[in-house]
Each structure stands twice: as C-alpha cells, then as structure tokens.
Amino acid sequence: MINIAICDDIIEELETISSYVSNNIKELDIPFKISSFSEGQDLLEHINSSKQNFDIIFLDVYMKFSNGIDIARRIRDFDKECKIIFITSSKEHAVDSYDVSALHYILKPINEEKLTNAIKIAIESLTKENKHFVIMNKKGNYRISYKDILYAESKARIVNIYLKSSEVISFYSKLEDFFQSLKDERFLRCHKSFVVNMDYILKIENNCAFMCNNIIIPITSSNMTLIKEKYFNYLLKEV
C-alpha cells in the first residue's frame, strides 16, 4: 500500500492533482490511498496524530497560512525517506527544494506529462527502497532490505553480509549464487570475494572501492576498466 498526501489550499487544484495521481497509479495496478489537505499545518497535525508517515507528498509552496518549503523542512525533521514533489505557481523556490531533498518541482498550470513522469520516478524509487530478500542460518530467518547492505564478503563458502547498522549476517552460500539471486543493478561483483552496493561507494581509485564508514574494498585489477565503467553508468542513471 502506497500512502499519498496532497496538500494545496485551492480546492480545484487539489481535486485536479488527486485525479491525475489516482489515474496514473491505477494504471500501475498498485494499491494506494490518497489523503487530501488544504493547509500545511493540517498535514503536519495528521502525521503527528496518526503516527503515520506518507510515502509520497505533493505539496504546494504558496498556501494561505503556510509555506510549503517550511512544511517540507519540518517533515524532514522526522522523515528522511518520503518523496516530496512540489507543485506551485512560481520558480522562486526551486533552489530551496534541493535543501529538503525534493524529488521534483512542477510549475502550475499542471502539465500532465510532467506529473506522470514525477509519479513514475517516485514509484520506481519506492520500489527500489522496498526490495529485500530472506536468508536462513542457524540463528534464524532474516528479512534484509537491499538498501541496508553495504557489501558482502565470501570466506570458505560462507557469505558475510555487512549492513549499515554494523551488523554482520552470515550464511552458507557461494558468493556468485548470492550475487545472482539479488538481480539488482546497484550491486557490483568487483572481486572474487566481494560484492558491493554502489549506492555507498564514495570513489574508485587505485584498484579499490572506497566506501562510506571508511571501508576499502579491493577490485580485481584485470576488471578495473569494466568496474569503473559499470559504476560510472550507474551514477549517470541515478542522477
């Protein structure tokens, strides 16, 4: 279920956006719920009272009693993941939208093609973040989100998965079998003993992938050119 909020103080605009969003997501055959708000403060109060975050928020910038950029900043205080799409009448705050990691900035009157594209990008991003796999070892069963994996290392037929939380989960498998099971372009087989999540590579240099948390992963020297090319193409696609 995708939870969507639309916030605009002009009722006609609220209804138009809601109709566009509903029609687009119905075509994707994904369950969803739309909640509409005519003021930014109403949106914040709903989130606080229901303790329910939204996956996607369509937010007007210029409202009678609030500014959408300010509302987005307050949302970011407790929710770093939701996809914020500004729909407004002026380019004035386009730069400010980067400060709150907005996914898109659409000008009124609404261009349905641009809105459709923004919805598609938001859904694809959510789908990517929600991907996971399940493994089993002697300690139990684990449901691991792809976005939580920094890298995996193979030692003597045991795959160790290193997570962002610093937890390490181990299970019996060949690294190649594990890599093939992921079926996700963010993961890169850079060495016979390592698979890395390219979302967490800071740079590739001197036959090494420099990851966040000061982790350095070796790269097979014979594959260096190919690895660099794959990483570069992935970065281009993510921009």
Residue with tokens 């001197």: 206
Parent domain of 205 = 132-238
Question: Which of 130, 160, 181 is the last residue before a domain boundary?
Answer: 130
Q: Are residues 126 and 138 in the same domain?
A: no
pLDDT tens digit string along 175-227? 999 999 998 899 999 999 999 999 999 999 999 999 988 999 999 999 899 99
239 pLDDT band, cuts 50/70/90, is: low
Alpha-carbon distance 209 to 191, whole Å?
10
Q: Are residues 80 and 164 in the same domain?
A: no
| Residues constituting the chain | 239
CATH number at residue 91: 3.40.50.2300
Question: Which of 111, 130, 149 is the last residue before a domain boundary?
Answer: 130
Q: Are residues 87 and 188 in the same domain?
A: no
Q: Are residues 137 and 53 in the same domain?
A: no
Closest CA to 88 of 97, 76, 98: 97
pTM of the prediction?
0.65
Residues ≥6 apart with Cβ < 8 Å to 129: 81, 145, 147
Question: Which of 112, 130, 148 is the last residue before a domain boundary?
Answer: 130
Alpha-carbon distance 107 to 60, whole Å?
10
How many Cα atoms within 13 Å fall on the side-chain side of residue 58? 32
* Structural domain count of the chain: 2
